[in-house]
Amino acid sequence: MLQSLHINNVVLIDELDLDFAQGFGVLTGETGAGKSILLDSLGLVLGRRAETSLIRKGTDKLSVTATFTNVNNPELMTLLSENELEQSSEIMIKRTLNTSGVGKIFFNDQLISAKLLKEIGKYLVEIHGQFDNQGLLNPANHRSILDAFGGLDKQVNACMDAYKAYQTAKKKRAEFENNIAKAKEDEENLTHWVKELEQIAPRSGEMDELQARRQELMHAEKIIENLNYAYSSLQSSDVASALRSAQAGIDKANNLVNDKYAPIYEALDTALVQVNEAIEEIENASSDISLNANEQESIDSRIFALKDLSRKHGCDVDALPEILLSFKDKLNAISLGEGGLSELRKEEQQKRLAYIEAANLLHQSRVATAQKLDAHVMAELPPLKMEKAKFITEIKSQDEAHWSENGADEVCFTVSTNPNSPQGALNKIASGGELARFMLALKVNLVQNSALATMIFDEVDAGIGGATARAVGERLARLGQKVQVLVVTHAPQVAALGDYHLKVEKNTVSDITTTKVYLLDEASRREEIARMLSGEHITDEARAAAMQLMKK
């Protein structure tokens, strides 16, 4: 709910602090006193366009701060999360604007854009009257409003699930179809590429092996020369004979001291074995070295062929085996494609029919809900002096091009104000006063399912009085039992039913005019309502009538 509003340097307001309460609040005052300034100020913190003409004359900057408490709208919390804003049950919005047209917007001390503020504002307060059409007046919202009124969450969710499944199957079929079409275009090339790659038969890691072998062949002569040198060194120095002699000496020493030097003997024995193994390994390595020039040419030729194919297919040499498999898969898809495509088309059709069934069930529920809503709204109209008006929720089934996860329905609240008048969209047919009363009749019925905590009605009593104004006040009071309601009114019958009463006054001192707002006590309320009944000169009769009106 709207807890407080601080206004600084807005038109006739120099500085003003307003506190609001839960329930039904009324705002009254003489014409021109500044009631619209309050709504303009509130509009600023809800995302309305900021204009420098609102800055109080003689000052260089305006500011408006609004505090909202007990905020628990799930959709608003999702919006805040998506924009990395604090998710709190208490929200403070401050907006400033200077004479250069430069302004700032703070959401709980975080800077935000005007566009985001407008998105946030629609979840905090709904204003009916002078502001831009939103909420109930926007046909784009009528479908979700109808669904909320009927409690159609189960049907809506089922339709959403069916639509997503249908779209997934549709996308899968389309992608498969495109792949087959493209594969057919490339079939001749694919066949050639597969044959070409199969002839080469590339292996992963083969290039490293070829490069290593090529390096070996290039230096074969030097390698053999060095191996031979190592072999002759071991043979010529008779390392083995020296080790055996050393072993004999150690053996004799061991006989004298009971094998004390056995570890030395074993170490020499191990060395003798390793020397013999080394000589054998050198012999084997020498025999493995090839001086065949043809082998090097063959390796060079294969390296060239592999690199050529890698350039041709735009990949690394090691990726050629995977490229070959992918080409084979595409060729296989062509041969098996029609069968697979047939299955995907069948699945798509099944999902389509399931969506149609879910959308039809949702449509039927909406039709039944619309009849219920229409009857409830129509029941509210006669006391509001609109007994000749008609409210009809129109539901039109759309073609497949306009299907969505919300079904195939276009929902629009339509009205006619007279028996011979055509039905038309709510926001285009009704006049200002009629529109406010239609909104009231709707809101009385929709409030049970509304996520909004605050509703403001501006000039809801325009052009009415007497019993009709009283009926309007009674409905506003009923709304105030469910949500916070604030009404700008000129009707004493409406003002008398408020839970609390704010009065707007304009005062001029030394040619400086300012607007002030006062919270009225019981006696002051009676005087204000009496003024509204009789005008500038308040009579005892007017005071008595005011007291009678204030009896609920």
State the CB neighbour count (10 A cutoff) for residue 456.
Answer: 24
Q: What is the distance between the alpha carbons of residues 489 and 409, in angstroms, rounded to a whole number?
A: 38
Query: Is the four-CA dihedral 284, 289, 291, 296 of positive or negative sign?
Result: positive
Provide mean pLDDT across the span 266-279: 83
312: its two tokens: 């041709």
DSSP 8-class letter at 247: H
Q: Which residues contact 376 (CB under 8 A, 6 or more apart)?
A: 445
Q: Distance between CA 115 and CA 107 in Å, rounded?
A: 13
Mean pLDDT of 340-357: 93
Last-in-domain residue among 316, 333, 350 = 333
386 in any annotated domain: no
Range of the structural domain that residue 4 is part of? 1-124+452-519
pLDDT of residue 65: 96
289: pLDDT confidence band, cut at 50, 70 and 90? Answer: low
What burial class does residue 173 get, using C-beta atoms within 10 Å of its C-beta: 0-12 exposed, 13-18 middle, 19+ buried? buried
Q: Residue 304 falls within a domain, yes or no? A: yes
Residues 60 and 194 in one domain: no
Residue 432: its pLDDT value, please? 67
Q: What is the DSSP letter of 96?
A: E
Domain-embedded: residue 87? yes
> How does residue 133 score in pLDDT terms, banded at 50, 70 and 90?
very low
Looking at residue 276, its amino acid is N
Domain count, the chain: 2
Strands 484-488 and 24-28: parallel
Residue 132: band (very low, low, confident or very high) from pLDDT cuts 50, 70, 90:
very low
Give the Cα-Cα-Cα angle 428, 432, 436 (nearest 5 degrees). Answer: 100
Q: Is residue 435 part of a domain?
A: no
Q: What is the structure's pLDDT at 131?
A: 43
Identify the three-state secondary structure at position 61. strand
Distance from chain centroid for Cα 189: 44
Q: Return the closest-CA partner of residue 238 out of 277, 284, 275.
A: 275
- Tokens found for residue 342: 């047939």
| One domain, residues 225 and 88 | no
Q: Out of 118-122, 362-366, 450-454, 484-488, pick the least confident.
A: 450-454
Same-domain status, 95 and 189: no
The kind and range of the H/E element at 402 are none
Q: What is the mean pLDDT of residues 137-141?
A: 84
Residue 362: per-residue pLDDT: 97
Judged by DSSP in three states, 159 sits in helix
119 and 189 part of one domain = no
pLDDT number for residue 294:
63
User: Vertex 476, ends 470 and 478: CA angle to 5°?
Assistant: 105
Edge to edge, what strands does the sheet with 409-416 contain?
390-397, 409-416, 424-425
Is 255 among the domain residues?
A: yes
| DSSP secondary structure code for residue 186 in this structure | T
The Cα 61–Cα 57 span in angstroms is: 10
* Res 248: pLDDT: 80
Q: Determine what percent of the chain falls in helix, strand and coil, rounding each to the nearest 5.
A: 60, 20, 25
Q: Are residues 113 and 218 in the same domain?
A: no
Q: For the segment 58-106, what is each residue's pLDDT rounded down to a tens digit?
A: 899 999 999 999 998 888 999 999 999 988 889 999 999 999 999 999 9
Domain limit, last residue, from 268, 302, 333: 333
Q: Is residue 9 part of a domain?
A: yes
Percent of the chain at pLDDT above 70?
A: 92
Summarize pLDDT for 321-341 with one digit per residue, the tens: 898 998 888 787 777 676 778
Is the same domain home to 29 and 106?
Answer: yes
- Rounded mean pLDDT of the chain? 86
Same domain, 104 and 32: yes
- SS3 per residue for 19-38: ECCCCEEEEECCCCCCHHHH
pTM: 0.62
Report which residue type is found at 207. Answer: M
**How does pLDDT run across 445-483, given as a tens digit for each residue?**
887 666 778 988 887 776 677 888 888 889 889 889 989
User: Do residue 324 and residue 197 come from a single domain?
Assistant: yes
Amino acid at 393: T
Dihedral angle at the C-alpha atoms of 109, 111, 115, 118, nearest 10 degrees?
A: 10
Closest CA to 127 of 48, 23, 11, 9: 48
Question: What pLDDT, on the 0 to 100 scale, is given for residue 106?
Answer: 96
The answer, yes or no, to whether residue 162 has pLDDT greater than 80, is yes
Q: At what angle do helices 187-200 and 293-312 cross, to 10 degrees?
A: 160
Residue 340 lies in a domain: no
We report the CATH number of the domain holding residue 487 as 3.40.50.300
In this structure, are strands 500-509 and 24-28 parallel, antiparallel, or unpaired? parallel
Q: How far apart are CA 457 and CA 435, in angstroms?
A: 11
Q: pLDDT band for position 403 (50/70/90)?
A: very high
User: Quick one: 106 and 189 in the same domain?
Assistant: no
Final residue in a domain of this structure, among 298, 333, 368: 333
Q: Are residues 236 and 120 in the same domain?
A: no
Tokens matching residue 82 = 């998506």
Alpha helices, DSSP H, located in 381-423: none
How many C-beta atoms surround the C-beta of residue 402 within 10 A? 11
Give residue for tokens 């024995």: 269
Q: Pick 296 or 479 by higher pLDDT.
A: 479
CA dihedral 420, 426, 431, 437 (to 10 degrees): 100
Could you tell me the strand order of the sheet in which 512-519 lies? Answer: 125-128, 454-458, 484-488, 24-28, 500-509, 512-519
Helix axes 153-185, 187-200, angle to 10 degrees: 70
pLDDT band at 372 (very low <50, low <70, confident <90, very high): very high
CA distance 437 to 461: 8
Give a yes or no: residue 139 inside a domain. Answer: no
235 & 321 share domain:
yes
Residue bearing the bigger pLDDT, 280 or 533: 533
